[in-house]
Structure 1
Amino acid sequence: MSDFDAQPGRTPDPDLTVAQREADDVDLHAGLSGVAGLVAGGSGVVDLLGHVAEFAAQAIPGVDGAGVSVIDMSDDTPSVTAWAVTAQFVEDIDRLQYLLFREGPCVTCMQTRRPAVSGSLGSDSRWPRFGGGVARMGVHSALALPLLVGDQLVGAINTYAHSRDAFGAHAVELGSQFAGPAAVSVHNAQLLDHAQARTKQLQSALTTRAAIDQAVGIIRSRSGIDADEAFDRLVRMSQAENIKLHVVAERLVDEAVRRAKARKQI
């Protein structure tokens, strides 16, 4: 049996026929094939999360709606930075979980790094505020799965069902099989997104540095001072006008270019 955190006092595991298990295996295979076909960089992180959520809803039996979240581990407490869902009611639920109550199956599964299951959210003592709000929306079952790459937690899958006791050990087992490859896809997308952002920052820094160097050269040519003195003068201009240094530099360079063009036209 899969290792997971079940709702206290409520651990039903309905009997499944051979045909049901075979059908579930087919759906799991289809979901895994879909995740395997995702290419990081082909779309943004949020779009990829949306695809993973759709495949999760296909791969895990009993799901009426699913969501996938990614987290930031830079602080002691993991914080959700982005998520995508397959249905509006999942969006509404996860807003309660992440932004209002800060409790729920996903929060718990990220803390314990184990799947969390509830078959009657309205009576689940683990999340009294969250569970009651979700039950009033007509959603009674939840299964949350951590997304782990080795020992690193990168996010979680949230699945919900309108019926009670929708997720037993069988659903947890299939969900856990799906979560492994899904975590790799999500993690790769995060790494690529961070690399692309870093590349843009470096390109911007190089452009900024070039403008500052050109401005220093212009000041030196006009005043005959050395590079350090020219840079200090540029800094004082920035401070006096309360404008960023690279903006002052770009403005100075643009002005020099306009003057040069005007002289050519004379």
Structure 2
Amino acid sequence: MGAGAVDPDRPADRRVGRSGRLRVGHAHPATRAASDRIAETVDLAQYAQDDGPCLTTLRTGEPVAVPDVAGAVVWPRFRDAAWQNGVRASLSVPLFAGSGETIAALNLYARDAVGISSSVPSAS
């Protein structure tokens, strides 16, 4: 997502960024694509702690919602990096191979704390 493509006055465009991580065949998760520096920074904080919503999604194969980053006390590096970079909510969604194995996670970051469907487990 290019910076020029986001209109901050439109509610649908009040997102920060997105990233995707790949796990298969790699000893350590890595961001394969990020829409901006903020998404990559928040990803790197999770790698440094070896935990966070994305890594939890990779390990469990379940989506993880963080509707309010301030409440993410179980992941202090993620919380602090997200907050310092203007991220207020996140959603990590597993991506599967044909075999059903979780091979990656798609992370969506938002500037506003958001309501997330009750069908998605919440970490906050």
TM range (shorter): 0.7 to 0.9
User: Relative to total residues, which structure has the larger helix share, 1 or 2?
Assistant: 1
Are 2:94 and 1:154 equivalent residues in the alignment? no
User: Relative to total residues, which structure has the larger strand share, 1 or 2?
Assistant: 2
Q: Render the CA deviation track for 1:130-179: whole Å, top value 9, x for unaligned.
A: 212311222110000011123212111011001112x5128x6xxxxxxx
Q: Which amino acid aligns with 2:17?
A: G
Of structures 1 and 2, the larger Rg is shown by: 1
Q: Is the contact between residue 69 and residue 82 of structure 1 (CA under 8 Å) also seen in structure 2?
A: yes
Q: Which amino acid aligns with 2:58?
A: M
Structure 1 partner of 2:18 = 66
Structure 2 partner of 1:123 = 71
CA RMSD of aligned residues (A): 2.5
Alignment of 1:24-35 (within 5 A): none
Q: Is the contact between residue 89 and residue 111 of structure 2 (CA under 8 Å) also seen in structure 1?
A: yes
TM-score by length of 2: 0.73
TM-score by length of 1: 0.36
Structure 1 partner of 2:60 = 112
Of structures 1 and 2, the one with the larger relative CO (CA 8 A, separation 6+) is 2
List gaps (5 residues or longer) in structure 2. Answer: 2-11
Count, aligned residues: 108
Q: Which amino acid aligns with 1:80?
A: P
Q: Render the CA deviation track for 1:237-257: whole Å, top value 9, x for unaligned.
A: xxxxxxxxxxxxxxxxxxxxx
C-alpha separation in 1, matches of 2:75 and 2:87: 14
Alignment of 1:68-217 (within 5 A): 68-73=20-25, 79-98=28-47, 100-149=48-97, 150-165=99-114, 167-169=115-117
C-alpha separation in 2, matches of 1:86 and 1:74: 22
Specify the SS of the correspondent of 1:168: coil
Post-superposition shift, 1:72?
3.0
